[in-house]
Amino acid sequence: MRTEGTDTVLYCGHKESERGSITVGYGVDKDGKAHCYACCLKEDLRFMRRVGRCTAYLSEDSRKITTWPGEVISDKVLILSKGRDSFGGERTYFRFMFDGQVWSGFGMGPGMYLRAKRTKIKSLYA
């Protein structure tokens, strides 16, 4: 279920984004300032380019890497393997393309949190 965001203007100067069933219409940065999803995504991407690391989410169909509210970071995802870790949790290893570079990481499965980092691998299938 999605409802309209409010007319509140956020710190970034934009209105609140559309609300999802589990998300409010904005993100909050480390200083507690609210930003719309587009600005959150921009900031996430800037961080990825600068630092070469990211925390994000694997979409429910395992075909996209997204931010928490579902903004798409990459739609070129290759699932390498799925398995269980020694604690019985699910672990999914994958690669994805971002900015023409291959990133690799692992997460807890579809719809779940993941960690990834930039690699020097030349292609998803290398």
Q: With binding defined as CB under 5 A, does residue 41 bind Zn ion?
A: no
Judged by DSSP in three states, 40 sits in helix
39 binds Zn ion (CB under 5 A): yes
Q: How far is the CB of 44 from Zn ion (least distance, A)?
A: 13
Sheet with strand 65-66: strands edge to edge: 72-74, 65-66, 53-58, 113-118, 101-107, 90-98, 77-84
Stretch that binds Zn ion, among 7-15, 61-69, 91-99, 102-110 (CB under 5 A): 7-15
d(CA 85, CA 4): 40
34 counts as binding Zn ion under rule CB under 5 A = no
* Contact region with Zn ion (CB under 5 A), list: 29-37, 83-91, 96-104, 115-123: 29-37
Q: How far is the CB of 26 from Zn ion (least distance, A)?
A: 8
Size of the site for Zn ion (CB under 5 A): 4
Residue 65 · residue 58 · CB < 8 Å: yes
Q: Which of 16, 17, 34, 36 binds Zn ion (CB under 5 A)?
A: 36
Does 63 participate in binding Zn ion (rule CB under 5 A)? Answer: no
Which regions of 1-126 does DSSP assign to beta strands (E)?
27-28, 34-35, 53-58, 65-66, 72-74, 77-84, 90-98, 101-107, 113-118
Binding site for Zn ion (CB under 5 A): 12, 14, 36, 39
